[in-house]
Amino acid sequence: MNIAPVAYRYARSLMELAQEKGVLAGVHEDMRLVSATCAGSRELLVLLKSPVVKADKKDRILEQVFAGKIGQLTNGFMGVLVRKGREELLPHVAAAFEELYKQQRGIITAEVVSATPLNDAARAKVRAMAEKQHPGKTIELEEKVDPSLIGGVTIRIGDEQYDGSVSRRLSDLRREFSKNPYLPKI
């Protein structure tokens, strides 16, 4: 998701307020729930973007959707977004909050794509490699399976990528063989 810069400002404000009130962990869980709910409900996203639905109606719907599931601070924050006409930014603010929270806590996400699901030994090896590259940081693995890799793994941490997949090696070999330096004598 491409996060709008204004979403970071709202997320930073929410984070500072949550720290001040001492409920940062709770707000983090609330924003994860908001993010998951928005990702899983196309209807909610359409509602948030709709210029036809009035702000007070959107506010009541959001309160009903998240009733009893989120804290008072998060609920009030969503009300502020709706009153300011920024409700369509809610999924972006949730994603920005997650990024800021991870930065503050020193958590780095390593996206691991493998041909088959990783076993515990492979997971530990990937985690150790990532911790070596980023000392002092907590590594969070996000695993995906892609059979087209044939074997091996690709690991992405931020804008760094390690590609140790068999498909990549085969591609490299094809490129090398296409250069064919052999010239027959005439």
- In this structure, the answer to whether residues 30 and 72 fall within a common structural domain is yes
What pLDDT is stored for residue 55 in this prediction?
94
- In this structure, the answer to whether residues 10 and 98 fall within a common structural domain is yes
- In this structure, the answer to whether residues 87 and 11 fall within a common structural domain is yes
Structure-token pair, residue 22: 């001492």
Pairing of strands 107-114, 138-145: parallel
Q: What is the C-alpha separation between 88 and 46, in angstroms, rounded? A: 9
- In this structure, the answer to whether residues 86 and 136 fall within a common structural domain is no
- In this structure, the answer to whether residues 117 and 82 fall within a common structural domain is no
For residue 115, the enclosing domain spans: 106-179
Q: Please count the structural domains in the chain.
A: 2
What pLDDT is stored for residue 13 in this prediction?
96
Q: 3-state DSSP call for residue 161?
A: strand
Reference 109, options 93, 118, 98; nearest CA is 98
What pLDDT is stored for residue 159 in this prediction?
87
- In this structure, the answer to whether residues 123 and 71 fall within a common structural domain is no
pTM: 0.79
CATH of the domain at 85: 1.10.520.20
Q: What is the C-alpha separation between 139 and 106, in angstroms, rounded? A: 9
CATH of the domain at 174: 3.40.30
- In this structure, the answer to whether residues 127 and 89 fall within a common structural domain is no
Sign of CA dihedral 110, 111, 114, 120: positive
- In this structure, the answer to whether residues 112 and 87 fall within a common structural domain is no
Does residue 185 fall inside a structural domain? no
What are the 10-residue block averages of pLDDT along the chain, 186 residues in total?
A: 90 97 96 96 95 94 94 95 95 96 94 94 92 92 93 90 91 85 70
Gyration radius from the chain CA atoms: 23
Quickly count: other Cβ atoms within 10 Å of residue 128's Cβ: 11
Q: What is the DSSP string of 120-150?
A: HHHHHHHHHHHHHHSTTPEEEEEEEE-GGG-
